[in-house]
Amino acid sequence: MIMFWSTTRTYKLNEARNKWHSGWWSLKIVLWVVTILFPFLLPHEIIQIYGHVSHFGAGVFLLVQLISMIRFIAWINDLCGKYGGRCQIHVMIVALIAYCVCLVGIILMYLWYAPQPYCLLNLFFITGTLILLQIMTSVSLHSKVNAGILSPGLMGLYTVYLCWSAMRRQDYQSLPILWNFYQYS
C-alpha cells in the first residue's frame, strides 16, 4: 500500500516519486523485511482483528480480479473479432476446451466434494456454478447480445476455479476436526 499511495499518478520519468518507484532498492528491501517480521511482534488480539478485516479485503480483491478478468476476456474477444475468419477455428477450439474443462471440473467437484446427499452447501455452490455457466452461455448466445461462446467459456473457467478453490479451502478446514475424531476414537 505504501508503494501504491506514494507512486499514484506518477507520469514523468524524472519526477522524484518515479525515482522512488524504480530505484532505492536497498530501502525497499529493508521495508519489505520489516513488514514481514512486524506481524510476529503484534499481540494475538490485533492479529484476530486483522483476520476479520481481511475478509473485507479479500472480497474487494475478488471484485477487482473479476473486473480485470472481464476486461481481459472482452479484449480477447474484440481481438478475435477484429481478425474475423482467420481466428474462428482458434476461438472454437479454445471455447470447446474451456467448456470441457468446466464440465470435468464440475463433475469432479460433485464426486470429491459432495459425495453424500447431506453435503448441501457444497451441492448448492457446485450446482449454482453449473447454472451460472448455463446462464452466461445462454445470454451470450442470445440474438441481442451475440457475443459468441468464447467469453462465457473463459468466464466459466474462472467461476469453476473460484468454486473449486472454495471447496478445497473448506475441505482443508475440516481436516483438523477429522484428525481429532480419528485420533480419539
> pLDDT tens string for the chain (185 positions)?
777 777 777 766 666 677 777 777 888 889 889 988 988 888 888 888 988 888 888 889 889 998 999 899 888 888 887 777 778 888 889 999 999 999 999 999 999 888 887 778 888 999 999 999 999 999 988 888 877 888 899 999 999 999 998 888 776 555 454 445 444 54
C-alpha closest to that of 150 among 75, 82, 89, 73: 73
Domain ranges of the chain: 42-184
The number of C-alpha atoms within 13 Å of 11 and in the hemisphere containing its C-beta is 1
pLDDT for 148 equals: 80
What is the spatial distance between Cα 19 and Cα 13, in angstroms, rounded to a whole number? 8
- Looking at residue 13, the DSSP 8-state letter turns out to be T
pLDDT for 130 equals: 94
What is the spatial distance between Cα 179 and Cα 185, in angstroms, rounded to a whole number? 10
